[in-house]
Amino acid sequence: MTEPIARIEAALKRLGEEHEPPVGWEARVLAATATPKAKPWWWFAFPVVALAVIAIVVFAWHSTLDQPLQLSVDREKGAVAVRGDSAHVGDIVHAKATGGSRYRAVWVYREDHLVVACPGAPQCRRDGKATIADLVLDTIGEYTIVALTSSSPVPAPAGQLDADLGKTAEMGVHQEHKTLKVR
Amino acid sequence: MAPFEPKLSRKTRRVRQRHLKMQAAERILMDPDSDVVGLVANGDMTGALRRLMERYGTPLYRYCREALRDATLADDVQQQVFIEAHRDLSKFTGLSTLRTWLFAIARHRVLDAAKSRRRVQAHIEPGDAISVPDPRRSPDELIDDQRILEALVGCLDQLPDKVRTVLLLRFQQGFTFEELAQICGEKPGTLQAKVTRALPLLRACIENRTGGSL
Protein backbone atom coordinates (compact mmCIF):
# COMPACT_ATOMS: atom_id res chain seq x y z
CA MET A 1 0.00 0.00 0.00
CA THR A 2 1.24 3.48 -0.84
CA GLU A 3 2.01 5.84 2.02
CA PRO A 4 -0.75 8.43 2.61
CA ILE A 5 1.68 11.35 2.26
CA ALA A 6 3.08 9.86 -0.93
CA ARG A 7 -0.46 9.67 -2.30
CA ILE A 8 -0.97 13.34 -1.53
CA GLU A 9 2.32 14.21 -3.22
CA ALA A 10 1.28 12.21 -6.26
CA ALA A 11 -2.08 13.97 -6.31
CA LEU A 12 -0.34 17.34 -6.08
CA LYS A 13 1.79 16.34 -9.06
CA ARG A 14 -1.30 15.54 -11.11
CA LEU A 15 -3.11 18.68 -10.07
CA GLY A 16 -4.27 20.73 -13.03
CA GLU A 17 -3.10 18.22 -15.64
CA GLU A 18 -6.33 18.66 -17.53
CA HIS A 19 -5.98 22.42 -17.85
CA GLU A 20 -4.52 24.11 -20.92
CA PRO A 21 -3.97 27.84 -21.37
CA PRO A 22 -6.71 29.52 -23.42
CA VAL A 23 -6.26 29.57 -27.18
CA GLY A 24 -4.44 32.63 -28.51
CA TRP A 25 -2.67 33.56 -25.28
CA GLU A 26 0.74 33.58 -26.97
CA ALA A 27 -0.48 36.03 -29.61
CA ARG A 28 -1.80 38.31 -26.89
CA VAL A 29 1.56 38.28 -25.07
CA LEU A 30 3.42 38.95 -28.31
CA ALA A 31 1.07 41.82 -29.13
CA ALA A 32 1.61 43.31 -25.68
CA THR A 33 5.38 43.07 -25.99
CA ALA A 34 5.61 44.26 -29.57
CA THR A 35 8.13 47.10 -29.70
CA PRO A 36 6.74 50.35 -31.03
CA LYS A 37 7.92 51.41 -34.50
CA ALA A 38 11.22 53.26 -34.38
CA LYS A 39 10.68 56.99 -34.55
CA PRO A 40 12.37 58.97 -37.36
CA TRP A 41 15.43 61.02 -36.46
CA TRP A 42 13.56 64.30 -36.87
CA TRP A 43 11.09 63.21 -34.21
CA PHE A 44 13.90 63.63 -31.65
CA ALA A 45 15.09 66.87 -33.28
CA PHE A 46 11.61 68.36 -33.19
CA PRO A 47 11.66 69.52 -29.55
CA VAL A 48 15.08 71.13 -30.04
CA VAL A 49 13.94 72.92 -33.19
CA ALA A 50 10.71 74.01 -31.52
CA LEU A 51 12.63 75.39 -28.54
CA ALA A 52 15.05 77.24 -30.84
CA VAL A 53 12.15 78.81 -32.78
CA ILE A 54 10.45 79.85 -29.55
CA ALA A 55 13.74 81.36 -28.30
CA ILE A 56 14.19 83.34 -31.54
CA VAL A 57 10.59 84.60 -31.46
CA VAL A 58 10.89 85.65 -27.82
CA PHE A 59 14.22 87.37 -28.48
CA ALA A 60 12.86 89.20 -31.52
CA TRP A 61 9.72 90.22 -29.65
CA HIS A 62 11.77 91.36 -26.68
CA SER A 63 14.11 93.43 -28.87
CA THR A 64 11.17 95.20 -30.48
CA LEU A 65 9.83 96.27 -27.13
CA ASP A 66 10.22 100.02 -26.47
CA GLN A 67 13.07 100.72 -24.09
CA PRO A 68 12.69 103.95 -22.10
CA LEU A 69 14.26 107.00 -23.79
CA GLN A 70 17.59 107.90 -22.21
CA LEU A 71 19.69 110.97 -22.70
CA SER A 72 23.31 110.95 -21.62
CA VAL A 73 25.66 113.93 -21.96
CA ASP A 74 29.41 113.33 -21.87
CA ARG A 75 31.87 116.17 -21.94
CA GLU A 76 35.44 116.15 -23.18
CA LYS A 77 37.73 118.90 -21.90
CA GLY A 78 39.00 121.23 -24.56
CA ALA A 79 42.62 121.96 -25.45
CA VAL A 80 42.80 124.96 -23.10
CA ALA A 81 43.38 123.91 -19.49
CA VAL A 82 41.01 125.56 -17.02
CA ARG A 83 40.27 125.04 -13.33
CA GLY A 84 37.13 123.30 -12.05
CA ASP A 85 34.73 120.73 -13.46
CA SER A 86 32.19 123.05 -15.03
CA ALA A 87 31.83 123.32 -18.81
CA HIS A 88 33.97 125.82 -20.60
CA VAL A 89 34.30 127.11 -24.08
CA GLY A 90 36.29 124.69 -26.16
CA ASP A 91 34.91 121.58 -24.49
CA ILE A 92 33.25 118.97 -26.67
CA VAL A 93 29.86 117.57 -25.74
CA HIS A 94 28.59 114.16 -26.83
CA ALA A 95 24.79 114.05 -26.38
CA LYS A 96 23.52 110.55 -26.85
CA ALA A 97 19.86 109.48 -27.12
CA THR A 98 19.08 105.75 -26.74
CA GLY A 99 15.95 103.63 -26.35
CA GLY A 100 12.53 105.01 -27.02
CA SER A 101 10.45 104.32 -30.10
CA ARG A 102 11.33 103.88 -33.75
CA TYR A 103 12.23 107.55 -34.43
CA ARG A 104 14.68 109.50 -32.30
CA ALA A 105 16.09 113.03 -32.46
CA VAL A 106 18.58 115.13 -30.49
CA TRP A 107 18.20 118.92 -30.52
CA VAL A 108 20.67 121.29 -28.87
CA TYR A 109 19.68 124.87 -28.02
CA ARG A 110 21.76 127.73 -26.70
CA GLU A 111 19.79 130.42 -24.88
CA ASP A 112 16.61 128.92 -26.37
CA HIS A 113 17.89 129.06 -29.94
CA LEU A 114 18.54 125.89 -31.92
CA VAL A 115 22.23 125.10 -32.53
CA VAL A 116 22.16 121.50 -33.74
CA ALA A 117 19.31 119.20 -34.80
CA CYS A 118 20.02 115.51 -35.23
CA PRO A 119 19.61 113.62 -37.42
CA GLY A 120 20.52 115.83 -40.36
CA ALA A 121 23.28 118.16 -39.15
CA PRO A 122 27.01 117.46 -39.84
CA GLN A 123 27.64 117.02 -36.08
CA CYS A 124 25.30 114.03 -35.99
CA ARG A 125 26.09 110.36 -36.12
CA ARG A 126 24.49 107.03 -35.33
CA ASP A 127 25.98 104.28 -33.21
CA GLY A 128 23.83 101.20 -33.35
CA LYS A 129 20.47 102.28 -32.06
CA ALA A 130 21.83 105.50 -30.54
CA THR A 131 21.54 108.97 -32.05
CA ILE A 132 24.53 111.13 -31.09
CA ALA A 133 25.29 114.83 -31.45
CA ASP A 134 28.96 115.87 -31.11
CA LEU A 135 29.11 119.59 -30.40
CA VAL A 136 32.02 121.92 -29.73
CA LEU A 137 30.99 124.48 -27.13
CA ASP A 138 32.23 127.64 -28.80
CA THR A 139 30.10 130.22 -27.01
CA ILE A 140 29.31 131.03 -23.39
CA GLY A 141 25.70 130.48 -22.38
CA GLU A 142 23.10 127.98 -21.19
CA TYR A 143 22.72 124.97 -23.45
CA THR A 144 19.60 122.82 -23.40
CA ILE A 145 19.96 119.34 -24.86
CA VAL A 146 16.72 117.58 -25.77
CA ALA A 147 16.23 113.95 -26.75
CA LEU A 148 12.96 113.15 -28.49
CA THR A 149 11.32 109.90 -29.56
CA SER A 150 8.12 108.88 -31.28
CA SER A 151 6.68 105.95 -33.21
CA SER A 152 6.06 108.40 -36.10
CA PRO A 153 8.70 110.72 -37.60
CA VAL A 154 9.67 113.60 -35.31
CA PRO A 155 8.81 116.96 -36.97
CA ALA A 156 11.66 119.29 -37.84
CA PRO A 157 12.31 121.96 -35.19
CA ALA A 158 11.40 125.59 -35.95
CA GLY A 159 14.33 126.95 -33.91
CA GLN A 160 12.78 128.20 -30.65
CA LEU A 161 13.02 125.93 -27.63
CA ASP A 162 9.63 126.62 -26.07
CA ALA A 163 7.75 126.56 -29.36
CA ASP A 164 9.48 123.38 -30.53
CA LEU A 165 8.93 121.51 -27.27
CA GLY A 166 5.31 122.70 -27.07
CA LYS A 167 4.60 121.56 -30.59
CA THR A 168 6.20 118.14 -30.19
CA ALA A 169 4.53 117.63 -26.78
CA GLU A 170 1.17 118.25 -28.41
CA MET A 171 1.97 115.57 -30.98
CA GLY A 172 2.74 113.09 -28.22
CA VAL A 173 6.48 113.02 -28.78
CA HIS A 174 8.31 111.85 -25.67
CA GLN A 175 11.09 114.19 -24.47
CA GLU A 176 14.04 114.17 -22.10
CA HIS A 177 16.20 117.26 -21.51
CA LYS A 178 19.31 118.36 -19.70
CA THR A 179 20.91 121.79 -19.33
CA LEU A 180 24.55 122.73 -19.36
CA LYS A 181 26.04 126.07 -18.38
CA VAL A 182 29.13 127.07 -20.29
CA ARG A 183 31.40 129.76 -18.91
CA MET B 1 24.22 41.08 15.97
CA ALA B 2 25.70 40.84 12.52
CA PRO B 3 28.51 38.29 12.11
CA PHE B 4 32.00 39.71 11.85
CA GLU B 5 33.09 40.14 8.25
CA PRO B 6 36.73 40.91 7.59
CA LYS B 7 37.33 43.97 5.43
CA LEU B 8 38.48 42.76 2.04
CA SER B 9 41.11 44.47 -0.03
CA ARG B 10 40.16 45.87 -3.39
CA LYS B 11 42.09 43.12 -5.15
CA THR B 12 40.34 40.37 -3.16
CA ARG B 13 36.96 41.91 -3.95
CA ARG B 14 37.83 42.04 -7.63
CA VAL B 15 38.94 38.39 -7.62
CA ARG B 16 35.75 37.39 -5.80
CA GLN B 17 33.58 39.34 -8.26
CA ARG B 18 35.34 37.72 -11.19
CA HIS B 19 34.80 34.32 -9.57
CA LEU B 20 31.07 35.03 -9.12
CA LYS B 21 30.79 36.14 -12.73
CA MET B 22 32.50 32.96 -13.89
CA GLN B 23 30.14 30.89 -11.75
CA ALA B 24 27.16 32.69 -13.27
CA ALA B 25 28.55 32.08 -16.78
CA GLU B 26 28.99 28.37 -15.98
CA ARG B 27 25.44 28.18 -14.66
CA ILE B 28 24.13 29.78 -17.83
CA LEU B 29 26.00 27.21 -19.93
CA MET B 30 24.51 24.38 -17.84
CA ASP B 31 21.01 25.87 -17.95
CA PRO B 32 18.72 23.76 -20.15
CA ASP B 33 17.50 27.13 -21.49
CA SER B 34 20.96 28.33 -22.47
CA ASP B 35 19.69 28.61 -26.06
CA VAL B 36 17.20 31.24 -24.82
CA VAL B 37 20.02 33.09 -23.09
CA GLY B 38 21.90 32.97 -26.39
CA LEU B 39 18.96 34.53 -28.21
CA VAL B 40 18.83 37.30 -25.59
CA ALA B 41 22.56 37.90 -26.01
CA ASN B 42 21.96 38.29 -29.76
CA GLY B 43 19.18 40.77 -29.11
CA ASP B 44 16.41 38.48 -30.31
CA MET B 45 14.06 39.13 -27.41
CA THR B 46 10.96 38.04 -29.29
CA GLY B 47 12.59 34.76 -30.30
CA ALA B 48 13.61 34.17 -26.68
CA LEU B 49 10.10 34.96 -25.48
CA ARG B 50 8.55 32.59 -28.03
CA ARG B 51 10.77 29.76 -26.82
CA LEU B 52 9.99 30.43 -23.19
CA MET B 53 6.26 30.49 -23.92
CA GLU B 54 6.53 27.26 -25.86
CA ARG B 55 8.35 25.50 -23.02
CA TYR B 56 6.75 26.94 -19.93
CA GLY B 57 3.43 28.38 -21.04
CA THR B 58 1.40 25.34 -20.04
CA PRO B 59 3.13 24.44 -16.74
CA LEU B 60 3.07 28.05 -15.70
CA TYR B 61 -0.62 28.34 -16.52
CA ARG B 62 -1.36 25.20 -14.49
CA TYR B 63 0.59 26.52 -11.55
CA CYS B 64 -1.25 29.85 -11.68
CA ARG B 65 -4.58 28.14 -12.11
CA GLU B 66 -4.15 25.81 -9.13
CA ALA B 67 -2.63 28.51 -6.98
CA LEU B 68 -5.44 30.93 -7.72
CA ARG B 69 -8.35 28.55 -8.48
CA ASP B 70 -9.60 30.98 -11.09
CA ALA B 71 -9.18 30.39 -14.83
CA THR B 72 -9.55 34.03 -15.89
CA LEU B 73 -7.20 35.32 -13.24
CA ALA B 74 -4.69 32.57 -14.00
CA ASP B 75 -4.80 33.54 -17.69
CA ASP B 76 -4.13 37.19 -16.83
CA VAL B 77 -1.31 36.37 -14.43
CA GLN B 78 0.33 33.93 -16.82
CA GLN B 79 0.39 36.52 -19.60
CA GLN B 80 1.64 39.17 -17.20
CA VAL B 81 4.52 36.88 -16.20
CA PHE B 82 5.67 36.51 -19.80
CA ILE B 83 5.31 40.21 -20.48
CA GLU B 84 7.49 40.97 -17.45
CA ALA B 85 9.94 38.26 -18.45
CA HIS B 86 10.26 39.83 -21.90
CA ARG B 87 10.86 43.22 -20.29
CA ASP B 88 13.52 41.91 -17.88
CA LEU B 89 15.18 39.18 -19.94
CA SER B 90 18.12 41.45 -20.74
CA LYS B 91 18.75 41.80 -16.97
CA PHE B 92 18.87 38.04 -16.39
CA THR B 93 22.21 37.44 -14.63
CA GLY B 94 22.28 33.65 -14.54
CA LEU B 95 22.19 33.39 -10.74
CA SER B 96 19.48 30.75 -11.22
CA THR B 97 18.12 28.82 -14.18
CA LEU B 98 15.71 30.64 -16.48
CA ARG B 99 12.90 28.31 -15.42
CA THR B 100 13.49 29.14 -11.76
CA TRP B 101 13.65 32.84 -12.60
CA LEU B 102 10.39 32.63 -14.54
CA PHE B 103 8.56 30.84 -11.74
CA ALA B 104 9.92 33.37 -9.23
CA ILE B 105 8.16 36.07 -11.25
CA ALA B 106 5.06 33.89 -11.41
CA ARG B 107 5.06 33.32 -7.66
CA HIS B 108 5.18 37.07 -6.99
CA ARG B 109 2.37 37.80 -9.42
CA VAL B 110 0.25 34.96 -8.01
CA LEU B 111 0.67 36.22 -4.46
CA ASP B 112 -0.18 39.77 -5.58
CA ALA B 113 -3.29 38.56 -7.40
CA ALA B 114 -4.38 36.45 -4.43
CA LYS B 115 -3.90 39.42 -2.12
CA SER B 116 -5.96 41.78 -4.33
CA ARG B 117 -8.70 39.19 -4.68
CA ARG B 118 -8.81 38.61 -0.93
CA ARG B 119 -9.20 42.35 -0.39
CA VAL B 120 -12.18 42.43 -2.75
CA GLN B 121 -13.75 39.25 -1.40
CA ALA B 122 -13.44 40.42 2.19
CA HIS B 123 -16.29 42.82 1.39
CA ILE B 124 -18.41 40.26 -0.44
CA GLU B 125 -18.08 36.79 1.02
CA PRO B 126 -19.15 35.95 4.57
CA GLY B 127 -16.44 33.28 5.06
CA ASP B 128 -15.20 29.87 4.04
CA ALA B 129 -17.69 27.07 3.78
CA ILE B 130 -17.37 24.47 6.46
CA SER B 131 -16.09 21.19 5.07
CA VAL B 132 -18.56 18.38 5.65
CA PRO B 133 -17.50 14.70 5.50
CA ASP B 134 -19.00 12.70 2.70
CA PRO B 135 -21.62 10.45 4.37
CA ARG B 136 -21.49 7.85 1.62
CA ARG B 137 -18.17 6.43 2.79
CA SER B 138 -17.15 4.69 5.97
CA PRO B 139 -14.02 6.05 7.74
CA ASP B 140 -12.14 2.82 7.17
CA GLU B 141 -12.75 2.72 3.46
CA LEU B 142 -9.77 3.62 1.23
CA ILE B 143 -10.26 6.71 -0.85
CA ASP B 144 -9.54 6.44 -4.55
CA ASP B 145 -7.15 8.82 -6.30
CA GLN B 146 -9.88 10.81 -8.02
CA ARG B 147 -11.56 11.60 -4.72
CA ILE B 148 -8.20 12.57 -3.22
CA LEU B 149 -7.70 14.98 -6.08
CA GLU B 150 -11.14 16.54 -5.64
CA ALA B 151 -10.68 16.92 -1.89
CA LEU B 152 -7.13 18.20 -2.34
CA VAL B 153 -8.34 21.16 -4.38
CA GLY B 154 -10.59 22.32 -1.54
CA CYS B 155 -7.96 21.60 1.11
CA LEU B 156 -5.27 23.58 -0.69
CA ASP B 157 -7.61 26.56 -0.60
CA GLN B 158 -7.55 26.45 3.18
CA LEU B 159 -3.76 26.79 3.36
CA PRO B 160 -2.07 30.19 3.44
CA ASP B 161 -1.16 31.48 -0.03
CA LYS B 162 2.58 31.23 0.56
CA VAL B 163 2.39 27.62 1.74
CA ARG B 164 0.10 26.66 -1.14
CA THR B 165 2.47 28.15 -3.71
CA VAL B 166 5.44 26.31 -2.16
CA LEU B 167 3.57 22.97 -2.27
CA LEU B 168 2.62 23.50 -5.90
CA LEU B 169 6.11 24.53 -6.91
CA ARG B 170 7.60 21.55 -5.08
CA PHE B 171 5.24 18.78 -6.20
CA GLN B 172 3.31 20.04 -9.23
CA GLN B 173 6.32 21.70 -10.85
CA GLY B 174 9.00 19.46 -9.33
CA PHE B 175 11.41 22.11 -8.10
CA THR B 176 14.09 21.05 -5.62
CA PHE B 177 14.29 22.83 -2.27
CA GLU B 178 17.43 24.62 -3.47
CA GLU B 179 15.55 25.96 -6.49
CA LEU B 180 12.59 26.80 -4.28
CA ALA B 181 14.93 28.80 -2.08
CA GLN B 182 15.92 30.89 -5.11
CA ILE B 183 12.28 31.37 -6.09
CA CYS B 184 10.98 32.24 -2.63
CA GLY B 185 14.05 33.95 -1.20
CA GLU B 186 14.03 31.67 1.85
CA LYS B 187 16.41 28.99 3.13
CA PRO B 188 15.91 25.46 1.75
CA GLY B 189 15.55 24.09 5.29
CA THR B 190 12.80 26.56 6.15
CA LEU B 191 10.90 25.63 3.03
CA GLN B 192 11.33 21.93 3.70
CA ALA B 193 9.93 22.45 7.20
CA LYS B 194 6.93 24.32 5.75
CA VAL B 195 6.21 21.47 3.37
CA THR B 196 6.67 18.85 6.08
CA ARG B 197 4.19 20.67 8.30
CA ALA B 198 1.66 21.25 5.51
CA LEU B 199 1.39 17.66 4.26
CA PRO B 200 -0.16 16.18 7.45
CA LEU B 201 -2.60 19.08 7.52
CA LEU B 202 -3.60 18.26 3.97
CA ARG B 203 -4.00 14.61 4.90
CA ALA B 204 -6.29 15.43 7.81
CA CYS B 205 -8.31 17.79 5.66
CA ILE B 206 -8.69 15.25 2.83
CA GLU B 207 -9.75 12.52 5.24
CA ASN B 208 -12.17 14.88 6.88
CA ARG B 209 -13.68 15.88 3.55
CA THR B 210 -13.96 12.40 2.13
CA GLY B 211 -14.80 10.63 5.33
CA GLY B 212 -12.30 7.85 4.49
CA SER B 213 -8.69 7.16 5.27
CA LEU B 214 -5.70 7.56 2.99
Q: Which of A64, A79, A97 is the last residue of a domain?
A: A64
Q: Do A5 and B62 touch (CB under 8 A)?
A: no
Q: Is the pLDDT of residue A113 over 50?
A: yes
Average pLDDT over residues B78-91: 94
Q: Do A9 and B199 touch (CB under 8 A)?
A: yes
Do residue A38 and residue A83 come from a single domain?
Answer: no
User: Tens digit of pLDDT for each residue in A53-112?
Assistant: 999 998 887 766 667 889 999 988 877 766 666 888 889 999 999 988 888 999 999 998
Do residue A15 and residue A52 come from a single domain?
Answer: yes
Closest CA to B171 of A8, A17, A2, A20: A8
Do residue A36 and residue A104 come from a single domain?
Answer: no
User: Tens digit of pLDDT for each residue in A135-174?
Assistant: 998 899 999 999 999 988 999 999 999 999 999 999 889 9
Total number of residues shown for chain A: 183
Best interface-test mutation with A: which of B53, B75, B79 has the largest number of A CBs within 10 A?
B79
Do residue A152 and residue A87 come from a single domain?
Answer: yes
Please give the pLDDT value at position B1. Answer: 42
Please give the pLDDT value at position A54. Answer: 94
Do residue A134 and residue A72 come from a single domain?
Answer: yes
The partner residue sitting opposite A8, judged by closest CB among B78, B83, B203, is B203
Q: CA–CA separation, B112 vs B54, rounded Å? A: 25
Average pLDDT over residues B54-67: 96
CB neighbours (10 Å) of residue A68?
Answer: 10
Q: Do B148 and A8 touch (CB under 8 A)?
A: yes
Query: Hey, is the C-beta of B90 within 8 angstroms of any chain A C-beta?
Result: no
Q: How many domains does chain A have?
A: 2
Domain containing A48: what range?
A: 2-64
Closest CA to A132 of A160, A94, A173, A165: A94
Q: CA–CA separation, A14 vs B172, rounded Å? A: 7
User: Tens digit of pLDDT for each residue in A15-36?
Assistant: 999 999 999 999 999 999 886 6
Q: Which of A64, A82, A108 is the last residue of a domain?
A: A64
Q: Do B53 and A12 touch (CB under 8 A)?
A: no
Q: Is the pLDDT of residue B2 over 90?
A: no
Do residue A46 and residue A100 come from a single domain?
Answer: no
Q: Which of A41, A64, A87 is the last residue of a domain?
A: A64
CA of B175 to nearest chain A CA: how many angstroms apart? 11
Do residue A139 and residue A164 come from a single domain?
Answer: yes
Q: Please give the helix or strand (H or E) that residue A105 lies within, else none.
A: strand A103-110
Do residue A48 and residue A118 come from a single domain?
Answer: no
B 124-143 → A contacts, CB under 8 A: none
Please give the pLDDT value at position B135. Answer: 44
Its pTM stands at 0.56
Predicted interface score ipTM higher than 0.90:
no
| Residue ranges of chain A whose CB lies within 8 Å of a chain B CB | 4-5, 7-17, 19-22, 25-26, 28-30, 32-33
The answer to whether the beta carbons of residues A149 and A171 sit under 8 Å apart is no
Average pLDDT of chain B is 85
